[in-house]
Amino acid sequence: MPAPFDQHVTFLYAEDPAPSWRFYEEVLGLPLAQDQGSCRIYEVAPGSRAFLGVCRARAPRVTDNPRVQGGCVVTFVAADVEGWHERLKAAGVEIAEAPGYSETYRVTSFFFRDPAGYTLEVQRFERPDWPAPG
């Protein structure tokens, strides 16, 4: 059995990455961990060893539906879901619905899209069996 993974990076691709870079840096306030020119990698939660890369795409997106094979939803876990909702609305981010509770998954969350069309979610687990951060 190999040693456990050391870090995690999720990569997203945009035909024009500059608006996405501004979004993740200025609206979400993610610290830039590395600028590779055509790809920027952000630290999602300080000390968590989780990163999000936003890179120049090599071809257009095939579908906007995140819930099909090959689709993607990026979820940011935060205790203050409501505070994030207000911050993003104040920054002009379009959000279809206010934070809501899912009985099925026992989470409170809301969804929105980044400039490249990726579906993003801010979520709080409302269940004691989810591991606490840190």
CATH number at residue 57: 3.10.180.10
With respect to residue 130, please indicate whether it lies within any of the assigned structural domains.
no
Which whole number is the average pLDDT over 55-75? 80
> Is this model's pTM higher than 0.85 or not?
yes
Range of the domain at 98: 8-125
3-state secondary structure of 89: helix
3-state secondary structure of 34: strand
With respect to residue 133, please indicate whether it lies within any of the assigned structural domains.
no
Q: Whole-angstrom Cα distance, residue 91 to residue 70?
A: 30
pLDDT at 59: 81
pLDDT at 64 over 80: no
Structural domain count, the chain: 1
**Closest of 61, 59, 58, 25 to residue 43, by C-alpha:** 25
**Closest of 21, 13, 18, 118 to residue 58, by C-alpha:** 13
